[in-house]
A = this chain, B = another copy of it.
Amino acid sequence: MNILLASTSTLFGGNYLEYIKSEIAELFTGIDEIVFIPFARPGGISHDEYTKVAKEFFAQLHIQVKGLHEFENQIAAVNEAKGFFTGGGNTFLLVKTLHEKNLMQTVKENVESGKPYLGTSAGSNIGGLNMKTTNDMPIVYPPSFECMGLVPFNINPHYLDPNPDLKHNGETRETRIKEFLTQNDTKVIGLREGNWIRRIGNRITVEGNEMTRIFEKDKEPYEIKSGTVL
């Protein structure tokens, strides 16, 4: 497998996918066309508008982008694609759409056969076992929370450390993930912005400039360095 799951598409003050451009070029080596999965629709943007954003970035890498929504037979489009990029937005909307169109399993099988896959934010969540560690609001009801399991754990993208200055009693991210672990045994990778997970064959590593926080049942959370094998 050949997979890159990034915490975010855009670093603060940066441009879309800029910080990870060379890694994306490497991921899609030898590929001139990919399918973009726009269903997470950040801020309710249309599928066409969202695909345009991806197209503009990939033009710099001389890779053509087609939006999956443009195809009449989307299952065939996935089976014929050379590679995939799923953008961020709302994970509930993304997962609902993929399940309703029977695309979750089809994309999974194609990626497991070796086609490169790029995910950012919600697009990374669906690379995990399930979407139960998303940060998103449940704006729609998906028929299932199960995802592709391209990696044998869950991801929490945009992982955010507690802010000691915040005079607010909503739960911290760490509290939420610990609540998840009271109900589930699945390991959770708290992926800070600027970090990503890379899978090449069976080797899975965390990459990027920040430390990565790992949450496991009945263990204190711990930090691992960039390059560590998961």
Contacts and interface: CB of A to CB of B under 8 A. Distances in A.
A137 B133 contact: yes
A136 interface: yes
Contacts of A158: 168-170
B183 A139 contact: yes
Interface of A: 8-13, 41-44, 89-90, 92-93, 131-141, 144-145, 158, 160, 167-171, 175-184, 193
Q: Looking at chain A's contact residues, is the secondary structure mostly helix, strand, loop, or mixed?
A: loop
A160 B169 contact: no
Given A137-B176, A183-B93, A12 B168 contact: yes
A173 to B, nearest CB: 9
A66 B13 CA distance: 52
19 contacts: A10-B169, A42-B171, A89-B179, A92-B138, A93-B179, A132-B137, A135-B137, A136-B176, A137-B179, A137-B180, A138-B138, A139-B179, A139-B182, A139-B183, A140-B183, A158-B169, A160-B168, A160-B170, A169-B193
Given A43-B179, A93-B183, A145-B141, A135 B168 contact: no
Contacts of A139: 132-133, 176, 179-180, 182-184
Contacts of A12: 167-169
Given A12-B169, A168-B12, A169-B11, A44 B137 contact: no
Nearest to A173: B137
A92 to B, nearest CB: 8
A97 to B, nearest CB: 11
Given A12-B167, A93-B183, A183-B93, A178 B137 contact: no
